[in-house]
Amino acid sequence: MSAGTRRQGVALPLVAVALAQFLAMVDLNITATAMPAIVGEFGRLDLFAWVTTGAVLASTVTTPLYGKLSDVLGRKQVFMLALGLLTVGSVLCALAQSMPQLVLFRIVQGVGAGGLMVSAMAIYAELLSPEQRMRYQIWFATTLNASAAISPFLGGLITDWINWRWTFWLTVPVALISVALIARTRLLPRPETRVRIDYLGAALLGGVCTCLVLVSSWAGGAYAWGSPVVVGLGAAAIVLVIAWLRVERRAEQPIIPLRLFRDPVLVVANVQGLVTGLTMFAAVTFLPLLMVARGESATGAGLALMPLTAGSLIVSLGLSSFMARAGRPQLFAVLGGVLLTGGLVALAVAEGAAMLAGALVFGVGLALIFQVYSVAVMNHAPRRDLGSAIGLQSLSRQLGGTLGLAALSGAFQARLGAELAARVPEDQLTRAVTAAGDPETVSALPEALRTAVTGGYGSALTLVLLAAAVCAGAGLLATLLLKLPTPPKKGSDHDRVHPGRPAAHHEGGRG
């Protein structure tokens, strides 16, 4: 096969997985601005949060299983299965006749979205050489960032101009194009060896993720942090982790081989997954609120997120090729950690143009870390464990975002309460707390009370962003303590799958 034919053969599946990544991220986030219309039609305000929580939970729980399935069943097969589930779930959501039905069908969507995130990265790893992965991987990050940024706007636009159901019908034509493109490639052969899947390990790990996601969703909101429900979920997560470790030690084909936790490169990559998930969710959630607290309109607050996406584009358009040629991942990992930490500090303490510059710096740092450590996992993980390693990194990123956001939200609420109690007269405290729950209503308060509320709000949000900066600093310390190896040379065991050559056999043995 000529080089030109090879490039053309690789291009089609890469476009297919980029489209699928876009779909997965959009479908998980697009309902945010459509929820008022959905609640207006169905009612059941008590269930509306599960329209999002159900999809996120399903995506998180199934991520490790998809990683293993892609190792043992084949990348293309698992990718098409996940894309099919996402499409079926989307059609069912569009046809839903009640809120319980919509929640159930969103769970089906989430199961498909979780598989697309993992199998798409595994396909990247299979098709591209180590030298190419650094150059192309940034487009994965850019696709995710751009789709996350555009999803709420797109959902609101479709809901206002057509109907909320079309936010789900949008999936169908894009999914069909992706299937048509990926089905044509012959560069992703099915593994020849038949193996047993560790369903018990998958169930236990899914239970752990379920407990953690429910804690992040309920603690401090539906239930107090010290309530029996939250404490019980935390205790259940610990018990399930212990049981999972015992099962994985004895499993012939563990869902996540425990040997991955003994590899320092993979360990630090997962630490960075936790950090990037936490910091990205923190910035996207709290930065607009901080802008409102400082007097910006809701539109201006939303525009404050644009520099984050611009930072990712700067890396993809300006640094990606240079990073691939330089071949010094440690340098770019340290640079990314410094920019990520510094950007968060600037977001916390700066104002005006300096804050927007901090958002840009944060976006560049986030993209650098995402790219360096995603490629490090692809290049460093053994072929037999590639899907599991990618799935574990995706799980780390998801849990870092959900659990980190829950912890930071709890800290924000506690600090906000203390700030308001210190700034607002006791007879007006209830009114101030109620207004602070929706920053856009603060403008209707009397001037003195408005100043007290915005000051307390800004102080609490500053604390949260500084806490996120501390977490980013811990990730930078991990980077400094462990030097990343240079990418393997072309033709090594980690190189891409060549046409006509079957994927490597999957070795058994205990984790």
Identify the helix (H) or strand (E) that includes residue 55. helix 49-73
Q: Are residues 177 and 231 in the same domain?
A: no
- The answer to whether residue 85 sits within a structural domain is yes
Distance CA(275)–CA(273), nearest Å, equals 5
In a domain, 499, yes or no: no
Looking at residue 491, what is its pLDDT? Answer: 47
Q: What pLDDT is recorded for position 328?
A: 80
Give the containing element (helix H, strand E) for 224: none
Domain count, the chain: 3
411-422: pLDDT as tens digits: 887 888 888 888
In this structure, the answer to whether residues 146 and 209 fall within a common structural domain is no
Same domain, 174 and 216: no
Let me know: does 461 contact 412? Beta carbons within 8 Å.
Answer: yes
Residue 369 and residue 409 in one domain: yes
Assess whether 143 and 247 both reside in one domain: no
Do 112 and 228 fall into the same domain? no
Three-class HEC string of 164-201: CCHHHHCHHHHHHHHHHHHHCCCCCCCCCCCCCCCHHH
Residue with the bigger pLDDT between 152 and 8: it is 152
130 and 112 belong to one structural domain? yes
CATH number of the domain residue 180 falls in: 1.20.1250.20
Of 175, 193, 211, the one marking the end of a domain is: 193
Task: Tell which of 168, 193, 218 closes a domain.
Answer: 193
Residue 505 falls inside a structural domain: no
Dist CA 53 CA 395 (whole Å): 16
> What is the C-alpha separation between 335 and 329, in angstroms, rounded?
10
Q: How far is CA 301 from CA 295, 447, 451, in A?
A: 9, 21, 18
**What is the amino acid identity at position 281?**
F
**Tens digit of pLDDT for each residue in 347-365?**
888 877 888 888 889 988 9
Backbone angles phi, psi at 433, to 5 degrees: -65, -40
Look at residue 423 and tell me whether its pLDDT is greater than 80: yes
Q: Are 219 and 323 contained in the same domain?
A: no
304 and 339 in a single domain? The answer is yes
For residue 144, being part of any structural domain is answered with yes
pTM summary value:
0.73
The two structure tokens encoding residue 19: 């489209």
Report for 50-54, 130-134, 400-404, 433-437: range of highest mean pLDDT: 400-404
**Res. 3: pLDDT tops 70:** no
Three-state DSSP state, 425: coil
How much is the pLDDT for 192?
60
Highest-confidence segment of 8-17, 63-72, 206-215: 206-215
**Same structural domain, 17 and 159:** yes
Segment 393-411 shows an average pLDDT of 82
Domain that residue 244 falls in: 199-251
pLDDT value, residue 89: 92
**What digits encode the pLDDT tens for the residues 178-228?**
888 887 776 666 666 566 778 888 889 889 988 888 887 777 767 887 889
Burial 20-32 (b: 16+ CB within 10 A, else e): bbbbbbbbbbbbe
8 Å CB contact between 333 and 384? no
For the segment 124-145, the average pLDDT, to the nearest whole number, is 68
Cα 301 from Cα 156, distance rounded (Å): 17
User: pLDDT digit string (tens) for 24-58?
Assistant: 877 777 776 677 678 778 877 667 667 877 787 78
Whether the Cβ atoms of residue 403 and residue 219 lie closer than 8 Å to each other? no
- Residue type (1 letter), 443: S
For 225, what's the count of Cα atoms within 13 Å in the CB-facing half-sphere? 9
Domain boundary among 178, 193, 208: 193
* End-to-end CA, the chain: 38
Residue 392 has pLDDT above 60, yes or no: yes
Please give the Cα distance from 333 to 318 (Å, whole number).
Answer: 16
Q: Is residue 501 assigned to a domain?
A: no
Is the domain of 189 the same as that of 216? no
What tokens appear for 297 in the block? Answer: 């309109």
Render pLDDT for 437-489 as a digit per residue (tens, 0 to 9): 555 566 677 878 878 878 888 888 888 899 999 999 999 998 888 777 766 55
Q: Are residues 245 and 307 in the same domain?
A: no
The DSSP call for residue 316 is I
